[in-house]
Structure 1
Amino acid sequence: MDEEYDVIVLGTGLKECILSGLLSVDGLKVLHMDRNDYYGGESSSLNLTQLWKRFNGNDHPPEKLGSSREYNVDMIPKFMMANGTLVRVLIHTNVTKYLNFKAVNGSFVYNKGKIYKVPATDVEALKSTLMGLFEKRRTRKFFIYVQDFEENDPKSHEGLDLNTITARELITKYGLEDDTIDFIGHALALHIDDSYLDQPAMDFVKRMKLYAESLARFDAGSPYIYPMYGLGELPQAFARLSAVYGGTYMLNKPQCKVEFDANGKAFGVTSEGETAKCKKVVCDPSHLPHKVQKVGKVARAICIMSHPIPETNDSHSAQVILPQKQLGRKSDMYLFCCSYSHNVAPKGKYIAFVSTEAETDEPEVELKPGIELLGPVDEIFYEIYDRYVPTNNHETDNCFISASYDATTHFESTVKDVIAMYSKITGKALDLSVDLSAASAAAEE
């Protein structure tokens, strides 16, 4: 402990483990500590006994649910875009060799009380039952524009500057109806609210292209992939990467206290009477509560079921997005389902999650529209957790704090936070220009 490090990372949540791996690969000397005796922090995966203890206070789940060891229940359930930034990070760091992925069966959207497959291409737009005949044609034209759009090819821009016109202005050009805009913005571009409509259209179009490209990668019915045995495998894989590059790990280290000098700069971390010195500290919000502020809370239900989500083509794994307008809410609601096909539950069992940015203190009431879409459930657990963002200036205190995980069931916002933190810590951009064909080799059909 009396050595000096470039960076000390506190907590083994997914964000912290990715950063630990990236910084170690860069040649920095990293010490990674956790107060727990397991990896994953808030983003760990629990077996049934651990899940029962967390929510029911005892470790005796009913035998009818099957073997505890066969459950790997994510505490922060999220799918990965097959062409997304997290996959690029996995390939950039070669972490893919520690993991096996499987394509997610379905991607759906809720509209007027029903669940529909998300159409993502011009061909799917014509087949979709989401829209009437004329709207299908308009949507097809818009999808063709997006598919053909290349930022560096002015001919594909059709005279539009997507850096100056808003997403709303672009959509208006194609005369799309409100319900169509709803599913495109929330289930395809994965915006979490409607504020994107009044921002430059470039990001909106890039997000749609990412969805379509990810969908094409495995031709599996969704653009998402998910690791076998659950997301708890990801922090461990990045921890292994860090260790390979010389990172030091210490679990079960209680009361990790960040030490500050007279100028308010962090210079080390003390645990069990020993202080390890460092130039920079990376941590989750729980380690420096006086340097973060609460910005919201997430309401979530975890459900164990014996069937897939109805109306999802019997998908063993699926995401359903319920856009805010469809529910009369300020934010979207998300359904996430995986099953024994991803080795996260015993044969015949499914794990479903319903999550949203909480607007009340009653998750049972708030999550009801999503719960009702699940059909009968064997067991259900509710919780609300607070969401924090850092308020400190890292240039004056040497502290780099991650934001809490949001309610989304995809990794796009999570990875943006990691990339931004990496740039602040190192002063450089992360080069993710990698060959994505390696992702195909990492994913099992």
Structure 2
Amino acid sequence: MDEEYDVIVLGTGLKECILSGLLSVDGLKVLHMDRNDYYGGESTSLNLVQLWKRFRGDEKPPETLGSTKDYNVDMVPKFMMANGALVRVLIHTSVAKYLNFKAVDGSFVYNKGKIYKVPATDVEALKSTLMGLFEKRRARKLFIYVQDYDENDPKSHEGLDLNKVTTREVFAKYGLDDNTVDFIGHALALHTNDDYLDKPAIDTVKRMKLYADSLARFQGGSPYIYPQYGLGELPQGFARLSAVYGGTYMLNKPECKVEFDQNGKAYGVTSEGETAKCKKVVCDPSYLPDKVKKVGRVTRAICIMSHPITDTNNSDSVQIILPQKQLGRKSDMYVFCCSYSHNIAPEGKYIAFVSTEAETDRPEVELKPGMDLLGPVDETFFDIYDRYEPVNNSQKDSCFISTSYDATTHFESTVQDVLSMYRKITGKELDLSVDLSAASAAAEE
């Protein structure tokens, strides 16, 4: 403990573990500590007994649910885009070799009380029952434009400078109706609100391309992949990586008090009477509560079921996005479902999450549109947690704090926070130009 480090990382949540691994690979001397005696922090995975203990105290889970060790229930479950930044980070760091991925069966969107497969290409647009005949043709033209778009080839731009024209203007050019705009923006480009409509269209086009490219990678029913046995192996994979490069890990370290000099700059962390010195501190919001502000709350339901979700082609794993406008809300709702096919539950059992940004104090009422899609459930746990984001000046106090996990059931916003933190900590961009065929090799069809 009395040594000096370049960086001390507090908390073994997924974001902190990724950063610990990346910084160790860069040659920095890293000490990683956690007040808990397990990896994962808020993003940990629980077996059945642990799940009951967390939500129901001393109550025991019913024997009808099967063996406790067959359950790996991620507390912050998120699918990964097959071509996305997190997969690139996994390959860049070689953590991918510690994991086995499996494609997710389905990607759906809620529209007017029903769910539909999200069309992502010109071919899928023509097949989709989500749109009428004329709207299909208009959407198809947009998808062809997006597929052919190449930033470096002006011929593919069709006279549009996507760095200047807004997404709203591009959608208007193709004559898309509100429902089509809704599913493209929220279920395909994965925007969490409608602010994107009045911003340069280049971001939305890149997001649409990412979705289509990820979908093509495994020729499956969705662009998403998910590790066998859930996300619990991810923090440990990055911890292993950090250790390979000389990082030091200490679990079960109480208090972990960040020490500041007279100028308000962090210089070390004290635990059990010993102080480890450092140049920078990286942590989750719980370690520096005075340097974060509450920005919202996530409300969610965790459900154990004995069947796949209706109208998803009997998919063993699926994401459904319920756009805010469809629900008359300010924020989207997300349904995540996974099962024994990814080894996170015994055969015949399914774990579903319904989550959204809380707008009331009544999760049972607020989550009803998503819950109604699930059908009969064996057990349900309701939960609300606060979301925080940093308000400190990291250049002045040398503290780099992650934001809390949002309600989304995909990793796109999470990994953007990691890349932004890496940029602030190191002053450089992370090179993610990697060979994605390695991800294909790691994933099972």
- TM-score, normalized by length of structure 1? 1.00
Match of 2:260 in 1: 260
Deviation at 1:243, TM superposition (A): 0.5
**Gapped runs of 5+ residues in structure 1?**
none
- Whether contact under 8 Å (1:50, 1:59) holds in the other structure is no
Alignment match, 1:355:
355
Which residue does the alignment assign to 1:391? 391
Q: Tell me the secondary structure at the aligned position of residue 372 of structure 1.
A: helix
1:136-166 per-position Cα deviation (integer Å, ceiling 9, x unaligned): 0001001000000011111100000001100
| Alpha-carbon distance between aligned partners in 2 of 1:47 and 1:150, rounded to the nearest angstrom | 46
Q: Is 1:306 the counterpart of 2:306 in the alignment? A: yes
CA distance in 2: counterparts of 1:2 and 1:142, whole angstroms: 60
Q: Work out the percentage of aligned pairs sharing the same amino acid.
A: 83
- 1:296 aligns with 296
1:179 aligned counterpart, secondary structure: helix
Q: Are the aligned partners of 1:298 and 1:384 in contact in 2 as well (CA < 8 Å)?
A: yes
Deviation of 1:93 after TM superposition, in Å, equals 0.3
User: Offset of 1:58 from its aligned partner?
Assistant: 1.6
Q: Is the 8 A contact 1:259 1:269 kept in 2?
A: yes
Match of 1:293, SS?
strand
Distance 1:59 1:436 in 2: 46
1:322 matched to 2:317? The reply is no
CA distance in 2, matches of 1:272, 1:62: 40
SS in 2 for 1:334: strand
| Partner of residue 11, structure 1 | 11
The answer on 1:444 being equivalent to 2:440 is no
Q: Structure 1: how far apart are the matches of 2:52 and 2:152? A: 53
Q: Residues 55-204 of structure 1: matches in 2 within 5 Å?
A: 55-58=55-58, 60-204=60-204
Which amino acid counterpart does residue 292 of structure 2 have in structure 1?
V
Q: State the partner residue of 2:419.
A: 419
Q: In the alignment, which residue of structure 1 is the partner of 2:381?
A: 381
Q: Which whole-Å CA distance do the structure 2 matches of 1:362 and 1:59 have between them?
A: 24
Give the RMSD, CA atoms, in angstroms.
0.5
CA distance in 1, matches of 2:174, 2:91: 38
Q: Distance in 2 between matches of 1:58 and 1:7?
A: 39
2: CA distance between counterparts of 1:296 and 1:25?
Answer: 34
Post-superposition offset of 1:330: 0.3
Q: Does structure 2 retain, via aligned residues, the 8 Å contact 1:301–1:367? A: yes
Matched, 1:366 2:370: no
The letter of the residue matching 1:10 is L
The DSSP-based 3-state class of the residue aligned with 1:282 is strand
Task: Give the number of equivalent residue pairs.
Answer: 445
Q: Structure 2: how far apart are the matches of 1:71 and 1:142? A: 43
1:401 aligns with 2:393: no
User: Aligned equivalents of 1:152 and 1:416: distance in 2?
Assistant: 24
Q: How far, CA to CA, are the matches of 1:428 and 1:186 in structure 2?
A: 30
SS at match of 1:373: helix
User: 1:420-435 residue pairs with structure 2 within 5 A?
Assistant: 420-435=420-435
Structure-to-structure mapping, 1:206-355, within 5 angstroms: 206-355=206-355
Aligned mates of 1:393, 1:247 — CA distance in 2: 26
* Separation of aligned partners in 2, 1:90 and 1:409: 19
Structure 1 residue 403: deviation in Å?
0.3
- 1:399-424 Cα offsets, whole Å, 9 max, x none, are 00000000000000000000000010
TM-fit CA distance, 1:59: 5.3
* In 2, Cα distance between equivalents of 1:88 and 1:440: 12
2:13 is matched by which residue type in structure 1? G
Corresponding letter in the other structure for 2:266: A
Alignment partners' CA distance in 2, 1:205 and 1:184: 10
Displacement after TM superposition at 1:385 (Å): 0.4
Conserved in 2, the CA contact under 8 Å of 1:390 and 1:402? yes
- State the Cα distance separating 1:444 from its structure 2 match: 1.1
- The residue number in structure 2 matching 1:34 is 34
- Is the partner of 1:380 in helix, strand or coil? strand
Q: 1:246-266: per-residue Cα shift (whole Å, max 9, x none)?
A: 000000001110000111000
Amino acid at match of 1:176: L
User: Amino acid of the residue matched to residue 183 of structure 1?
Assistant: F
Counterpart of 2:373 in 1: which secondary structure?
A: coil
Amino acid at match of 2:435: D
Q: Are 2:56 and 1:44 aligned?
A: no
Distance 2:324 2:59 in 1: 37
Q: Secondary structure at the match of 1:320?
A: strand
Rounded Cα–Cα distance in structure 2 between residues aligned with 1:249 and 1:144: 49
Residues 50-81 of structure 1 show CA distances to partners (whole Å, capped at 9, x for unaligned) of 00000001251110111000000010010000
In structure 2, distance between residues paired with 1:164 and 1:58: 58
**In structure 1, how many angstroms separate the alpha carbons of the residues matched to 2:308 and 2:9?**
39
Q: For residue 16 of structure 2, give the secondary structure of its aligned residue in structure 1.
A: helix
Structure-2 separation of matches of 1:440 and 1:58: 43
Task: For residue 381 of structure 2, give the secondary structure of its aligned residue in structure 1.
Answer: strand
> Tell me, what secondary structure is at the counterpart of 1:275?
strand
CA distance in 1, matches of 2:214, 2:29: 35
Partners of 2:10 and 2:332 lie apart in 1 by 31
Provide Cα deviations, 1:271-314, integer angstroms capped at 9, x if missing partner. 00100000000000000000000000000100000001111000
CA deviation after TM superposition for structure 1 residue 353, in Å: 0.2
Q: Supply the AA of the counterpart residue of 1:76.
A: V
CA distance in 2, matches of 1:258, 1:160: 51
Kindly provide the amino acid, as one letter, of the partner of residue 212 in structure 1.
A
> Retained in 2: the 8 A contact 1:49–1:59?
no
With normalisation by structure 2, the TM-score equals 1.00
State the alpha-carbon separation in 1 of the partners of residues 189 and 169 from structure 2: 16
Amino acid at match of 2:49: T
